[in-house]
Amino acid sequence: MQVATTPAQRPSDAKLLLVDAGGRMEHRPRVHLAACGRAGDLVVANDAATIPASLRGVLRRSGAVVEIRLAGRRSLAVDDIREVAAVIFGSGDHRTRTEDRPPPPPLSPGDVLDLGPLEATVVRPLGHPRLLAVRFAGSPEEIWSGILRHGQPVQYAHLQEPLAIWDVWTRVAALPAAFEPPSAGFLLDWKLLQELRTRGIGFATLTHAAGLSSTGDPTLDARLPLDEPYRIPETTARAITRVRAAGGRIIALGTTVTRALEHAASPSGTLRAGAGLATQRIGPATRLCVVDAIVTGIHEPGESHYTLLRAFANDRVLAAMGQQLEQYGYRTHEFGDSVLVERAIWRSSSRPEL
């Protein structure tokens, strides 16, 4: 596979690998995504706008350079920004591989970080030296203003040029909530949305605070994804209930959509609208209650996103998928190509009836 090194959301040559419920595979141009659906299906996307969540500054007592990457909030409430979870690095920038970044200087509760116009105080460690709760000084309006003026989008070494905020916003971006972009939604444009409508395929959104995809530390990466708040509109919940009752498929545009929908579903498959905090990890032992298929990027074994795919297909199918992706030169990372994976036949019998 190749690494996508250009921040182009909809390259004309983007590829899509279809993996159906029986494990059969087919290669298509990604612009044919709408043709992969059926009348009566529903595509659900994450409409979270991406926050410029990388903040550079110094440790006040020593002047040591630090970078913090915002990584977690308890809710999507606009004023719930004073205290956040953050992953903290030492000197360097995104051009250095995350796993090669030096650790931050030793930090203790009460230490103050000067982050451009923002002041943040270390509150407590969160089970790892690089993961800390920090509290910003000022009102929510002042904090948001400081983040927007001083912050940069989180990015990694495969993208050398600094990202602009518009590089990481999807066409349906709304509430600033995601710490990294819900990049499965990069393929959305108005033409695709119109084609879905023409084919009788519904479209709905929810908001989920997509978190960091990597911290550079294997122990901390093993805890990903962290807890992530979400909100499912009543209109989306009703649309999902209606489509499932009529026998249509729910197609999640991304892992964050899958996580939110499955967290909000009861064991019987009833979907709860409103706000929630996704705390679960989805994997091979997960019994999917809502999502029938997922459109996502290209992920490597061991990553949390790949682990989520194991709820849709067994390891044999996913290994064969990886071979196809390698053979046909699919591009990885957030600006790469896509796969559409249907929930396997061997899991379909466990789907609860409405």
Residue 29: which of 4, 11, 2 has the closest Cα?
11
pLDDT of residue 268: 82
Report whether pLDDT(352) > 50. no
Per residue in 117-164, pLDDT (tens digit) is 999 999 999 999 999 999 999 999 999 999 999 999 999 988 888 999
Beta pairing partners, 203: 43
Per residue in 32-52, pLDDT (tens digit) is 999 999 999 999 999 999 999
Residue 278: which of 289, 291, 264, 268 has the closest Cα?
264
Tokens representing residue 296 in the block? 């996502």
pLDDT of residue 222: 94
Per residue in 237-279, pLDDT (tens digit) is 999 999 999 999 999 999 999 999 999 999 888 999 999 999 9
- Contact yes or no for 345/15 (Cβ under 8 A): no
- Contact yes or no for 120/136 (Cβ under 8 A): yes
Per residue in 288-305, pLDDT (tens digit) is 999 999 999 999 998 999
2-50+162-348 has which fold? QueA-like (3.40.1780)
pLDDT of residue 43: 98
Fold: same for 2-50+162-348 and 54-150: no
pLDDT of residue 229: 98
d(CA 236, CA 206): 7
Residue ranges of alpha helices (H) inside the chain are 140-150, 190-198, 218-221, 234-245, 255-264, 304-309, 315-327, 345-348
pLDDT of residue 6: 84
Per residue in 58-79, pLDDT (tens digit) is 999 999 999 999 999 999 999 9
CB atoms within 10 A of CB 222: 10
What's this model's pTM, rounded to 2 decimal places? 0.94
- Contact yes or no for 180/226 (Cβ under 8 A): no
d(CA 352, CA 334): 33
d(CA 328, CA 79): 47
d(CA 310, CA 71): 25
54-150 has which fold? Thrombin, subunit H (2.40.10)
The residue whose two tokens read 């190749």 is: 2
DSSP symbols for 171-237: TT--SEEESS--GGGGG--HHHHHHHHHTT-EEEEEEE----S--S-HHHHTTPSPPEEEEE-HHHH
| Domain layout of the chain by residue ranges | 2-50+162-348, 54-150
